[in-house]
Amino acid sequence: MKTIVIAPHPDDEVLGVGGTLLRRKAEGAKVAWLIVTAISVEYGWRVEKVTQRSDEIKRITELFGFDDVFALNFPATRLDQVPMSDLVAGVSDAFRIFEPEEVFVPHPSDVHTDHRIVFDAVSSCTKWFRYPSVKRVLAYETISETDFGLGADRGFRPNVFVNIEPFLNNKLRAMDIYASELGAFPFPRSHEAIRALATLRGATSGFKAAEAFELLRERA
């Protein structure tokens, strides 16, 4: 199995797929991380924050044991200013190199514009006749983004549940690496909220903790 997670921003991979990635790695899969955006001094970020983000990416890479990390370095929160052809080309390059079988993408109903644009770009890279390695495409939920979307007609409808009970604590430890993104409960990106969502998804599927996904395409 070769699994890739596409993250509009670092921390999306942990929030949405962290437990499943840890499980896939434990099962012997090769796992890749495609980070679409980056922060830079050029776009108004402090040097300290840029340095911190670089360190976070390094620590997350080590914790998950990613076999490949692809960084497209498009400006965060500004993807609406990037030509779609450039985004598609970046994702396409990663797919050609890694040849993923399983693809995790942000859900198209996410409230963050970057997430919706990334979904559209990845969708262009799942055509079987151009990317024959791709067998499954699943949308993940990003707490604080998917749950705040108002488009009821395109809401997140999970139909795949992955048991992450043995990996939940390490998922939370991974989020601790992104300490500046965490807040006190009931802030959505908090230990309590992340654990509560895992418990809810587990109760839905018969596990003590689970991550939920929407299967968009599968070729068996």
- Hey, which bits of the chain come out as E strands? 2-7, 30-38, 68-75, 102-106, 136-140, 160-163, 210-218
Burial of 205 per CB tally in 10 Å (0-12, 13-18, 19+): middle
Q: Find, among 36, 29, 14, 27, the residue nearest to 169 by Cα.
A: 14
Distance, in Å, from the CA atom of 144 to the CA atom of 189, rounded to the nearest integer, reads 7
CATH of 2-218, one of 2.40.30.20, 3.40.50.10320, 3.30.70.260, 3.40.50.620: 3.40.50.10320
pLDDT band for position 150 (50/70/90)? confident
pLDDT on residue 152:
63
Longest Cα–Cα distance of the chain, Å, equals 48
Domain boundaries, the chain: 2-218
Does residue 214 register a pLDDT over 70? yes
- pLDDT, tens digit, 9 for 90 and up, residues 22-74: 999 999 999 999 999 999 998 889 999 999 999 999 999 999 999 999 999 99
Return mean pLDDT, the chain. 96
Task: Answer for the pair 107, 156: CB distance below 8 angstroms, yes or no.
Answer: yes
Does residue 218 register a pLDDT over 90? yes
pLDDT on residue 44:
86
- pLDDT, tens digit, 9 for 90 and up, residues 93-119: 999 999 999 999 999 999 999 999 999
